[in-house]
Chain A
Amino acid sequence: MCNRISYVVWAALVCGWLCWTPEAHAHKMKLFAAVEGDTITGYAYFPGGGKAKHVKVTVRGPNGEAFGEVTTDDEGAFSFQARSRTDHVLTSESEDGHGATYTVAASELPESLPGMTVTAGGEVSTPAAAAPPPDNPAQTPPATPPVEVVERAVAAQIRPLREQLQHYEDLIRFRDVLGGIGYIVGVMGLISFLKTKKRAKDR
C-alpha cells in the first residue's frame, strides 16, 4: 500500500513538473529588425527566454560582402547605420552554437540612400538596382509632407505589428506538437511493418 502511494507521488511529481509551464516556447535564437530612417534597429532574443545580450551581429550585403558588425547591448538591442539601399542580411551567433538570420529588404530602406556601395576592399558591388519608382509630379499635391517623413511614420506604426507577427510565429502550437507525435507513430509503424515483413520472409 505504502509502495503504491509512493508510485502515485512520483508520477504526480513528474507529471506536475512537466506540466508546470506557463508558456511553451522554442529554445533558439531569433533576430528582429526594422528600419527607422536610415538606421536598422532591432534585437536578438530567445523566444520565451529573454533577450540575447552581448551577441555579435554581422551585417552583410546580398552577395555576402561585409558591411559591418555590431554587438547587442544589455537589452539585446542593436542598431546599424545603413549606407546603401540594398538588402542587409543580419546574422547573429552565440558562443554555444545558437544562431539566427534576418534580412532587411532594400525596399524598406529610404530612397535617399545610394543603391550602389563600395566595399572595404575597394571593390564595387552592384546589388539589385533599386530603381526609384517613376514619379509623377503632376499628381503630387504641393502640401504633401516629404516622403521620408511619411515612410518613417508608417514604419514606426507598423513595427509593433511586425513584432507581434514574429512572436506569433515563434509560438509552439499544440496542433504542431500533436502532428509531430503523429509522425513519430507513423514512422515507427512503418519501421515495425517493414521489420515484420522481413521476418515473415525469413521464415
Chain B
Amino acid sequence: MHIADGVLSGSVLATGAAIAAVGVGIGLSKLNPQHVPRAAVLSSAFFVASLVHVPLGVGSVHLILNGLTGLALGWGAFPAIFVGLLLQAVLFGFGGLTVLGVNTITMAFPAVCCYALFRKAMKASQGYRTFAAGFLAGAGAVALSGLLTGLALAASGKAFYVAAATLLAAHVPVMLIEGFVTGAAVTFLVKVRPEVFYVPARGPCCEESACV
C-alpha cells in the first residue's frame, strides 16, 4: 500500500502534501490532550503492524490497522498515521519522504471515514454486532486505501484499472485478516477498556464532540 518515491507526478505529490497537512492540522487541533497517549499507542501499533509480515501465497502481507486507528482516534488518525509513516520511511525505506503526504491521505482518510460510519454503530451495539462493525471498519478501510492508492497512481498517468485491480486483488486476504483482527480488537477493547472508544467519565464538560 505504500507508494514508493519517484512513481507519482509532481502535481499529485504537491496536492497530496497540501491535503495531508490540512488533515494533520485538523487532527492535531481536535486531539484532546488527554487522548494523546491513546494516539501514541495507536500510532505505535500502526508503525509496527506494517513491519510484521506473514507469508501468504506468492507474496507476503501485513496488517495496516488504519480502521482501528480511525475508530479510536477519529481525525486524530491523521497525525498518528503521519508519524507512523514518517518513521517507516526514514527507518526502513517504506514509501518515501516525497510521497509521505499521499500515503498519509490514502491510509488516514479511510480511517476518518470508518470513524464517521462505524463508531456510532459500534457504540450502540454489543457482542457480535460490535465485532461486525469492527470487521467492516477494518476491511473497509483497507479497501478504500487500495482505491485511493489506485486513484493517486491514475492521477499520475498510470492505468487506474490495472493499478486498482492489482492492489485490490492482492489485498483481499489482507482485508479479511484486517477485518478479523480489527473486529477482535474492538470486541476485546470495548469489554476491557471501553474508554478507548468512549469519552472518559469526567463530568458534563467533556461531551463527545469536544473530546474527539
Interface residues of A (CB under 8 A from B): 3, 7, 10-11, 13-14, 17-18, 20-29, 46, 48-50, 91, 93-101, 172, 176-177, 179-181, 183-185, 187-189, 191-192, 195-196, 199
Contacts and interface: CB of A to CB of B under 8 A. Distances in A.
Nearest to B63: A18
Given A98-B4, A189-B36, 15 more contacts: A7-B188, A11-B188, A22-B55, A27-B60, A27-B62, A49-B55, A49-B59, A50-B59, A95-B166, A97-B8, A172-B51, A172-B92, A180-B87, A187-B83, A188-B39
B3 interface: yes
A24 B31 contact: no
Interface in B94-145: 94-95
Contact of A183 (B8, B54, B87, B170): B87
A176 B47 CA distance: 11
Contact of A96 (B51, B62, B149): B149
B184 A10 contact: yes
Contact of A184 (B43, B93, B166, B177): B43
A179 B60 contact: no
Best-buried of A22, A49, A172, A188 by chain B (most CB within 10 Å): A188
Interface of B: 2-8, 28, 31, 33, 36-37, 39-40, 43-44, 47-48, 50-55, 58-60, 62-63, 79, 83-84, 87-88, 91-95, 149, 152-153, 158-159, 162-163, 166-167, 170, 177, 181, 184-185, 187-188, 191-192
A95 B157 CA distance: 11
Contact of A27 (B83, B94, B162, B192): B94
A50 B58 contact: yes
B12 to A, nearest CB: 11
30 contacts: A10-B184, A14-B185, A26-B93, A28-B2, A28-B94, A46-B59, A48-B55, A49-B59, A49-B60, A93-B7, A94-B166, A95-B159, A95-B166, A96-B149, A96-B167, A97-B4, A97-B7, A99-B7, A100-B4, A177-B48, A180-B44, A180-B47, A180-B88, A183-B83, A184-B43, A184-B44, A187-B40, A188-B37, A191-B28, A192-B33
A91 B6 contact: yes
Nearest to B54: A21
Given A7-B191, A25-B60, A27-B94, A97 B149 contact: yes
